[in-house]
Amino acid sequence: MSEEQTGENESNMAATEDGEAEASPFAKLESELEKLRNEVLYAQAETQNVRRRLEKEKADASTYAATGFARDMLSVSDNLGRALAAIPAELREDERIKVLLTGIEMTAKELDSVFQRNGIARIEAIGQKLDPNRHQAMVELPSEAEPGTVIQEMQAGYMIKDRLLRPALVGVAKAPDA
């Protein structure tokens, strides 16, 4: 090889090395840019998830804000029911008591109406299969009914919208003793 050719080869090699040297930082920048794009996308997705979660929590808070108050009002409803149940049949016919009885019954009906308007519903228990998400079994009683069926309700249970407010306290059938 002549000196001229050797010089050309060296200059071509230097140009190739420079080209690779120039391509390498460009590839690094592209890779860094792609990494930053992904991080921005993840951050946007996370922000959107947080926003959705907060909106759901806000909706739940407004929907179920009265849960504590509703739970307290259930004891008022229970006491009104007990008061009505405690009045013997012969007193129900007494004209002096009828006005008082009518007032108590109207108050109980109004309370039930308020419960319905606010999404509070009584749980049907008698004759249903025991549902541990809605019923709390207090006792097993021998019965001809299918075992696991609710045959007695000691305290009514309630739901507020789709959530349990208070479980029904129930007696459940078991196979009769032989």
Residues 88-109 have pLDDT tens digits of 988 888 888 888 899 999 999 9
Q: Which of 39-43, 160-164, 169-173 has the lowest mean pLDDT?
A: 160-164
Residue 65 has pLDDT above 90, yes or no: no
Q: Which of 111, 125, 128 is nearest to 156 (CA)?
A: 125
- The whole-number pLDDT of residue 14 equals 45
All structural domains of the chain with their residue ranges: 1-63, 66-118, 121-178
* Residue where the block lists tokens 């951050």: 43
Task: Give mean pLDDT, residues 115-124.
Answer: 92
Give the chain's mean pLDDT: 86
Task: Give mean pLDDT, residues 124-152.
Answer: 93
Task: Give mean pLDDT, residues 45-74.
Answer: 89
- The whole-number pLDDT of residue 158 equals 96
Q: Which of 136, 140, 137 is nearest to 165 (CA)?
A: 136
CA pseudo-torsion sign 114, 117, 123, 126: positive
* CATH (residue range 121-178): 2.30.22.10
Residue 122 has pLDDT above 50, yes or no: yes
- The whole-number pLDDT of residue 13 equals 45
Per the CB < 8 A criterion, the answer to whether 136 and 102 are in contact is no
